Amino acid sequence: MQDFRRLLSQTDPAVFDALLGEEKRQREGVELIPSENYTYPEVLAVLGSVFTNKYSEGYPGRRYYGGQTYTDRIESLARERACALFRAEHANVQPLSGSPMNQAVYFACLKPGDTVLGMELSHGGHLTHGAPVSHMGKIFTFVRYKTRTDRQGAIDFDELSRVAKETRPKMILCGYSSYPRDYDYRAFKAVADDVGALTMADVAHIGGLVAADVMRNPLDGGFDFVTTTTHKSLRGPRGGMILCRAAHARIIDASVFPGLQGGPHMNNVAAAAVTFKKAAEPEFKAYARQVLANARTLAAVFLGEQVSLVTGGTDNHLLVMDTAASFAMDGKRAEEVLDRIGITTNKQVIPDDPRPPLRPSGIRLGTPACTTRGMREPEMEALAGWIVAALRHADDDARLARLAEQVKALCSRFPVPGLAPAPV
Ligand code: DSN
């Protein structure tokens, strides 16, 4: 590995310099974007391996190119491990990432114009769940449901059932990228069964937490399809995966290839296989429990400081802070202030946000990455305090500089897996 680095430094100093800069940023800052994580050194090794050289259109035992002895082996391993981890009957591990995995399910089951019930973007849903700006929103007819902001973000299943009976969807979709609660999948399934709709859960954010059984598994609730990315709480390579019942295996596989994609990225598939092996180990369950405990600790400190959190708290790995209500500051400015002290978050719309997406009312924070570094409740208490101090004194440069030093000192005690310590 070190030889590759030396070679890169000589071949392309500009890219090597950017790599060193990003390593320093990751080493010296706290990552609180809930969809990010630090992957395993083993995964980095496989991603940068010769599997990247190989074309493998098709599936194990049914490929369109020769030379598949080892690619067949790794894809079969990845599929078997994914099925065991999620109690699925079938897994397709080829989607290149989250958007293609969701599109593959839609195209497998729906015709243009078909109706899908999906969660409203500002209430926590995802772009690929039919936001009007996405191609999906133009091809299919998405009808959006909201959360009950007056009831800690609960889903109103009576209302969902009424809308389902009125619109007769082909599919009911749940899943989120900024919803800080867990779902009752059986309640979604009951609504879907009433109108003969298929069910799909996009658990991209919480894939690792579902795998570790610290959050509910939609497949246990009878869902037809579950999609997840492999790089967020699962801690693996950038990629996507579709889990389903055996009865849907053929249409899903055909939808991914040749329907939507060409050659799978076999370095990613190999890295996913490694990730699933790691996720089945007891250490990963402990990690997942700590992700939740850390998020609860952040929430408790914020609430104690009268900071407004969407839904009033969290049941998962993420929190959505209403910075407009709490600090009279939009999410863009809050993100920038926290960047200055070395804490990375992202601006975030809140339910029915009156502000535009690039200057929304809040920020989103999450614990998967800092938990991977080994941070626990005491570090969460410190971080939450520093975040509140920075946002309350955003114009005090000297105070922000002192907070930045504290963040850097904290980070020096928690190495990033796969990253060499800072050069001395
Ligand atoms: N970009 C991911 C997130 O941050 O939630 C989802 O696509």
Residue 37 lies in a domain: no
Number of domains, the chain: 2
CATH number of residue 256's parent domain: 3.40.640.10
Distance, CA of 381 to CA of 359 (rounded, Å): 28
Tell me: do 294 and 275 sit in the same domain.
Answer: no
Residue 11 lies in a domain: no
Tell me: do 304 and 271 sit in the same domain.
Answer: no
Tell me: do 269 and 299 sit in the same domain.
Answer: no
CA of 35 to the centre of ligand 1 (A): 6
pLDDT of 131 over the 90 cut: no
* CA of 346, closest atom in ligand 1: 4
Per cent of the chain over pLDDT 90 is 95
Q: What is the mean pLDDT of residues 55-75?
A: 98
The tokens describing 49, both together, are 């391996």
pLDDT of 1 over the 70 cut: no
* CA of 33, closest atom in ligand 1: 4
Nearest one of 106, 133, 104 to 117, comparing CA atoms: 106
Question: Has 111 been annotated as catalytic?
Answer: no
Question: Has 335 been annotated as catalytic?
Answer: no
**Residue 59, Cβ density class (10 Å: 0-12 exposed, 13-18 middle, ≥19 buried):** middle
Distance, CA of 43 to CA of 205 (rounded, Å): 19
Q: What is the pLDDT of residues 320-373, one digit of tens each?
A: 999 999 999 999 999 999 999 999 999 999 999 999 999 999 999 999 999 999
Q: What is the pLDDT of residues 331-341, one digit of tens each?
A: 999 999 999 99
Q: What is the mean pLDDT of residues 399-403?
A: 98
Pocket test for ligand 1, best of 32, 99, 122, 177 (most atoms within 8 A of CB): 177
Q: What is the pLDDT of residues 147-156, one digit of tens each?
A: 998 899 999 9
By the 8 A CB rule, do 169 and 27 touch?
A: no
Q: What is the mean pLDDT of residues 255-284?
A: 98
Question: Has 69 been annotated as catalytic?
Answer: no
The overall average pLDDT reported for the chain is 96
Q: What is the mean pLDDT of residues 399-414?
A: 98
Nearest one of 385, 351, 349, 379 to 367, comparing CA atoms: 379
Read off the pTM.
0.97
Domain boundary among 236, 256, 279: 279
Tell me: do 187 and 233 sit in the same domain.
Answer: yes
Question: Has 57 been annotated as catalytic?
Answer: yes
Residue 395 lies in a domain: yes
What is the pLDDT at residue 99?
96
| Residue located nearest, by CA, to atom 3 of ligand 1 | 35
Only one residue has tokens 């601006």, namely 347
* Identified catalytic residue from 54, 189, 232, 364: 232
* Identified catalytic residue from 63, 238, 277, 399: 238
Q: What is the mean pLDDT of residues 268-288?
A: 98
Ligand 1 proximal residues by C-beta, below 6 Å: 35, 98, 126, 177
What is the pLDDT at residue 177?
95
| Residue located nearest, by CA, to atom 1 of ligand 1 | 35
- Containing domain of residue 318, as a range? 290-412
Tell me: do 270 and 337 sit in the same domain.
Answer: no
How many Cα atoms within 13 Å fall on the side-chain side of residue 81? 21
CA of 364 to the centre of ligand 1 (A): 11
Tell me: do 205 and 115 sit in the same domain.
Answer: yes
CA of 421 to the centre of ligand 1 (A): 29
Tell me: do 191 and 321 sit in the same domain.
Answer: no
What is the pLDDT at residue 423?
65
Residue 50 lies in a domain: yes
Distance, CA of 274 to CA of 66 (rounded, Å): 24
CA of 399 to the centre of ligand 1 (A): 32
Q: What is the pLDDT of residues 73-126, one digit of tens each?
A: 999 999 999 999 999 999 999 999 999 999 999 999 999 999 999 999 999 999
What is the pLDDT at residue 420?
76
Distance, CA of 69 to CA of 60 (rounded, Å): 9
Question: Has 55 been annotated as catalytic?
Answer: yes
Distance, CA of 297 to CA of 270 (rounded, Å): 35
Q: What is the mean pLDDT of residues 22-46?
A: 97
Tell me: do 187 and 152 sit in the same domain.
Answer: yes
Question: Has 213 been annotated as catalytic?
Answer: no
pLDDT of 64 over the 60 cut: yes
CATH number of residue 392's parent domain: 3.90.1150.10
Tell me: do 257 and 345 sit in the same domain.
Answer: no
* Identified catalytic residue from 28, 57, 377, 381: 57
